[in-house]
Structures are given as structure tokens and as C-alpha cells.
Structure 1
């Protein structure tokens, strides 16, 4: 992360909150956390957000995701993650799918 945590969140330096403690312990850009640890945090946060959203997930999406893990390079997989985060964060989303 090239920018500090406050760039991506509502965190303001000097606040004694979780983000203050995280930044103090792991660095303002999570530089003291390994890639594996960053992916664990990403997985947990993504699962939490996903469980709170309405709608179902089509089976084909699970199949596509599985194909991506087996057919794309790690760099391309990381690129997909970056793309999805940007789309999710800035509102480029389809309507929820509701299956009868």
C-alpha cells in the first residue's frame, strides 16, 4: 500500500481506535504484515461484507472463480482482486441476483 491507512478509511491520526492501534503495530501501509497475512485479512473482511449484502450468488460465479484460481497467474489473480475492490468500493455493481 503506497498511501497511508487514512487515505482509504475514515481514520484520522491521533484517534485511539482500532485503526490507530493497527497502524502503530503494523505500519501505516501494513508494511509489517506479510502477503499471506494481508490475504487472510482480505478474506475475512470480504466474507463479512458479503454475508451482509442481499441477494444470492450464481453457481456459475463459483465456477468462474475456481477456474481463475487454476488458470490465471498469481499476478493476474491479484489484478482481479484489485479490480473487484475498486468496482465494489466505487459503485460499479450489478443489482443483487434473486433466485426463485
Structure 2
């Protein structure tokens, strides 16, 4: 079962923020969005955050992503996404030299 938006964000009920408006329109767990719509939002936000970071992406990472896309089940692809989101958010990242 999903936790409400406020669990993951700085949203506070009654703060009249974008997060409050989104929760009112789409539900506290975005239950009024399809899986495809949620994945579009995830893609846009991940691209935006990635573009804010300095450094290059090693070419082999694109190969790894293609292998994951081609060889992992949809469930495992979702699991990898969840693991990466947690690692990005909480700072478990390799530092390139």
C-alpha cells in the first residue's frame, strides 16, 4: 500500500502549495493517475534533476540501461527504479574521479 504524498515531501495540509492542489485533484497517493501517467511524470522529473547535475555519463551506462530494458521483467524494472530513486534521494552515489 502506498503512503500519502506528505510522507515523501514537505507538503503540509493547508499550505496552499502545488503539492496540496495535486493531492486534491489526483488523490493523496495519486490514485487518480494511471501507471503510464505516473511514469511520464517520473521521466520528466528524473530528466530535469539529471540535467542539473555536473559531470558526464559513462557510455557503458546506456548499455546497462538497454540490457535492463531488454532482459528484466517489468516488475524487476520497477524494482530497479525504486532502488535508484532511494539511492539518489538519500545520497548513495558513486563519486567519479
- Does TM, scored on the shorter chain, surpass 0.5? yes
Tell me the distance in 1 between the aligned counterparts of 2:85 and 2:25.
25
Which one has more relative contact order, counting CA pairs under 8 Å at least 6 apart? 1
Q: Find the counterpart in structure 2 of residue 20 from structure 1.
A: 20
- Residue correspondence of structure 1 range 10-89 to structure 2 within 5 A: 10-89=10-89
Give the distance between the partners of 1:13 and 1:3, measured in 2 at CA: 15
Structure 2: unaligned runs, 5 residues or longer: none
Q: Counterpart of 1:4?
A: 4
User: Alpha-carbon deviation of 1:17?
Assistant: 1.1
Runs of 4+ in structure 1 deviating by more than 3 angstroms, as ranges, are: none
Structure 1 portions without partners, runs of 5+:
none
Mapped to 1, the partners of 2:52 and 2:13 lie a distance apart of 29
How many residues are matched? 97
- Which segment drifts farther, 35-44 or 1-10? 1-10
